[in-house]
Amino acid sequence: MGDADRRGLAPAGALAVGRCTIVAIDFPSSGARAAGSRRWVSVALLAPAVLIAGFVVFGGVGMSIVQSIGLLPLVGEARLSLDAYTANADELLTGLGLSLAIATASTVLSCVIGLTAAIIITQGRRTGRIVAAVSALTIPIPHLIGAAAVGLLISDAGIIPRMLGIPGTEWPDLVGGPWWVAVVLEYTWKESAFVALVVAAVLSSRVARYDETAALLGASRARRLRHVVIPLARPAVIVSAIIIFVYTFGSYEVAWLLGRPYPEPLPVLAFRLFDSITLTSRPEAAAVAVITTAVSLIVVALGMALLRRTPLWK
């Protein structure tokens, strides 16, 4: 009916215009020219974004490598050497271990809590809506603010020891303690909300129908969770795990604010060396940066390999 309306309303000229355009597009040489110009338009549209991202990524990594192997000293002659890597070998190794441990703990906890929250959210009803709302409100809070809030919450003068009536002297060192509890908690708090919303979006879009079918075929609740919901959520969980791991591995401010002075995670070590007044410390900071980048890339590659092995990956 709508079609007929349109046909009835259209003036005779419009049809002619339409026919003319079709003829023009069909004409071979003009078609080739159109494809060529479209390619140029694409390149022009992409150029500014690719130039900025490429400058920052390749420039940042490239100049870090160049500085770390002694080719760009602040003073003196450029000389190829690996001194910057060996100068703080011990601190580099402990920092690497510590950063890996913090990132692993935060990633695993965020994924477990986030997946639970996502399942609650997609179960629907009021409880799900409340959890969805509070986790969505957590997302835009900057990590630094989150760190300050966690400090006010669980430091020895924080709100929780006060409410529990435990004096500050008997409260365990969660902030700046040996187990980096406050750092992991802050990451887990922010990132579990991220996992919850990402996974909930995936579950709400395709899981509901499969879940109902499985229920109709007689699957119990536990089996549906084990064989339907979790496998369908797996790709989204892996993608968020990669993102969380790389972020927590290379992030500075939370570990600096809520951690202890020694040992230092890699980003904190790099910051201290970068700001130090010794002349050799800039290349050493660059060496820490290069190692952090290399580990991040390896983790991304491993994560992508894992993702390709999930049956749902298209």
Partner 1 sequence: MAMLIPYGQRVTPDDGTVTSRGLMRPRPAGRALRLTVASLLTVWFALPLVPLLLWFFADRWSAPAVLPTEWGFDGVSSALANGALPAFGRSLLLGLVVAAIATPLGAMAARALTRGAVPAARLVSGILLAPLALPAFVAVMGLTIVLLRARVPGMVGVVILLVAAALPYTVYTMRVAYAAHDLAYEEEARTLGASPWHVLWRVHLPLVVPGIARSAFLAFLVGWSDYVITVLVGGGTIVTLPLLVASFAAGVGNDAVIAVLSVSAIVPPLVLLLALGRFGRRYPTAHFLNGPTASRSPKGSP
Task: State yes or no: residue 182 binds partner 1 (CB under 8 A).
Answer: no
> What is the C-alpha separation between 192 and 115, in angstroms, rounded?
8
With contacts defined by CB under 8 A, name the span among 86-94, 122-130, 227-235, 306-314 that binds partner 1.
122-130
Task: State yes or no: residue 240 binds partner 1 (CB under 8 A).
Answer: yes
Closer residue to partner 1, CB minimum distance, 94 or 153 = 153
Task: State yes or no: residue 1 binds partner 1 (CB under 8 A).
Answer: yes
Yes or no: say if 133 and 118 are a contact pair by the CB < 8 Å rule.
no
> What is the C-alpha separation between 83 and 283, in angstroms, rounded?
9
Site for partner 1 in 49-108 (CB under 8 A): 49-50, 52-57, 59-64, 67, 72
With contacts defined by CB under 8 A, name the span among 83-91, 100-108, 189-197, 305-313 that binds partner 1.
189-197
Task: State yes or no: residue 296 binds partner 1 (CB under 8 A).
Answer: yes
The one among 100, 108, 120, 306 contacting partner 1 by CB under 8 A: 120
Q: How far is CA 149 from CA 43, 62, 159, in A?
A: 45, 37, 10
The one among 235, 250, 259, 263 contacting partner 1 by CB under 8 A: 250
The one among 70, 95, 128, 235 contacting partner 1 by CB under 8 A: 128
In three-state secondary structure terms, 280 is coil
Closer residue to partner 1, CB minimum distance, 96 or 286 = 286
Task: State yes or no: residue 277 binds partner 1 (CB under 8 A).
Answer: no
Task: State yes or no: residue 274 binds partner 1 (CB under 8 A).
Answer: yes
Task: State yes or no: residue 187 binds partner 1 (CB under 8 A).
Answer: no
The one among 101, 144, 225, 230 contacting partner 1 by CB under 8 A: 144
Yes or no: say if 96 and 295 are a contact pair by the CB < 8 Å rule.
yes
> What is the C-alpha separation between 191 and 160, in angstroms, rounded?
22
Helices then strands, each counted (H, E), the chain:
16, 0
* Other C-beta atoms lying within 10 Å of the C-beta of residue 212: 12
> What is the C-alpha separation between 231 and 235, in angstroms, rounded?
8
The one among 69, 103, 244, 255 contacting partner 1 by CB under 8 A: 244
> What is the C-alpha separation between 192 and 138, in angstroms, rounded?
10
Q: Which of 242, 239, 264, 108 is nearest to 184 (CA)?
A: 108
Site for partner 1 in 10-49 (CB under 8 A): 14, 17-18, 21, 35, 38-39, 41-43, 45-46, 48-49
With contacts defined by CB under 8 A, name the span among 82-90, 165-173, 225-233, 306-314 that binds partner 1.
165-173
Task: Give the count of residues interacting with partner 1 (CB under 8 A).
Answer: 116
In three-state secondary structure terms, 5 is helix
Please name the amino acid found at residue 149. A
